[in-house]
Amino acid sequence: MSTSSDERLGWPRWRRSWSYHATYYAQTWRGSVASTVLFPIFYLAAIGVGVGHLVSAHTGLVGGQTYLHFIAPSLLATTTMQLGEGESLWPVLAAVKWIRSYHAAVATPLEPKDILTGKLAWVVTRALATGVVYTIVIGCFGALHSWWSLTLPLIGALITLAFAAPLVAFAATVQSDASFALIYRFAFVPMFLFSATFYPVSAYPASLRPVVQFIPLYHGVALARAAAFGEGSSAAVLAHLGVLVAMALGGILWGRRTLRRRLVD
């Protein structure tokens, strides 16, 4: 096989896959402006200020914070989770079955692992940009209380990768999108509602708290709050990081097998 120009320049081959997604997004970015810039403002205004006024009137502080400040970091976590889901199910199935762009890519010097790495690198790039915007918006609402909040874009990117990697791997195995709606309805919607996003774990019955803490998104929400408030023990932070990193690594390893099986074997 001849040496590609990227390899001669010392660049990894997956960079071409990343460049493909970046070039495509450069033509379609206007459709995501609302979800990236306007939605965080609307969410915080409607839920944090509107609902928060009712919560404060009846219960006062939530987790030692005003309700607006309490939910602000969790909305960053849920948004980056949804970004990982939105970029990894239908787009991947389309690329391997409907428009077959991954088949075209694998006919070049790119290998399935390069396609996977480039795809995930692009999703992480979008998550970082979204995380920066969310962090700025959260800061404008006065919901950042620690210098650790500067890590919120990185936390958002990790959350996105933790969900995107296994979802890309799964999407490469299916023949239709029938299961995607079920995943969204019975996995992502419950996670959004019951991962201590809108109220603390202490609000749940004692018997359900371990269940909530088992939900993957909970670890992202807890990590974002710890960074925004500068609170939480080192052991807890490491545990949350460990879960998200394990999800990302497991998804990457699984995705390498499923994409190779779908595109080559």
Please give the pLDDT value at position 171: 97
CA dist 261 and 173 (Å) reads 9
- pLDDT of 47 over the 50 cut: yes
Helix residue spans in the chain (DSSP H) = 5-8, 14-28, 33, 39-43, 52-58, 67-86, 90-93, 101-106, 112-140, 152-171, 178-183, 189-193, 209-214, 216-229, 234-263
Please give the pLDDT value at position 1: 40
Please give the pLDDT value at position 56: 67
Task: Tell me the residue type at 84.
Answer: G
- pLDDT of 15 over the 50 cut: yes
Please give the pLDDT value at position 195: 92
Do 110 and 20 touch, CB atoms closer than 8 A? no
For range 98-119, the mean pLDDT: 94
Task: Select from 69, 103, 96, 81 the least CA-distant residue to 165.
Answer: 81
Q: What is the DSSP secondary structure assignment for residue 233, as one 8-state letter?
A: -
Please give the pLDDT value at position 52: 73
pLDDT tens across 204-243, in order? 899 999 999 999 999 999 999 999 999 889 999 999 999 9
